[in-house]
Amino acid sequence: MEILIDKKEDYTLSCATSQYYLNVTCGTTAVYTITFQLDEMETATFLERGEEFLTDLAWRVRDYPEEYLERRV
């Protein structure tokens, strides 16, 4: 897996076999990460908007982690 973007203590974007994976650092007191594969729409939006989209998506993951926990890899 190749790391494409590494925003320390925020998120990391990796790629393996043409699939993108976002690892988001969450929490305040107890810090944890959520790593999930970007779906087709998220991938298309990332390719269009770049890091701006990833920053927005990382904030959404932190605000609503329960929506992404079932997608963990």
> pTM for the whole thing?
0.91
**Number of structural domains found in the chain:** 1
Determine what percent of the chain is predicted with pLDDT higher than 90: 89
Q: What is the 3-state secondary structure (H, E, C) of the chain?
A: CEEEEEECCCEEEEEECCEEEEEEEECCCCCEEEEEECCHHHHHHHHHHCHHHHHHHHHHHHHCCHHHHCCEC
Domain that holds residue 63: 2-69
**Digit-coded pLDDT (tens) for 30-63:** 899 999 999 999 999 999 999 999 999 999 999 9
Confidence tier at 1 by pLDDT (50, 70, 90):
confident
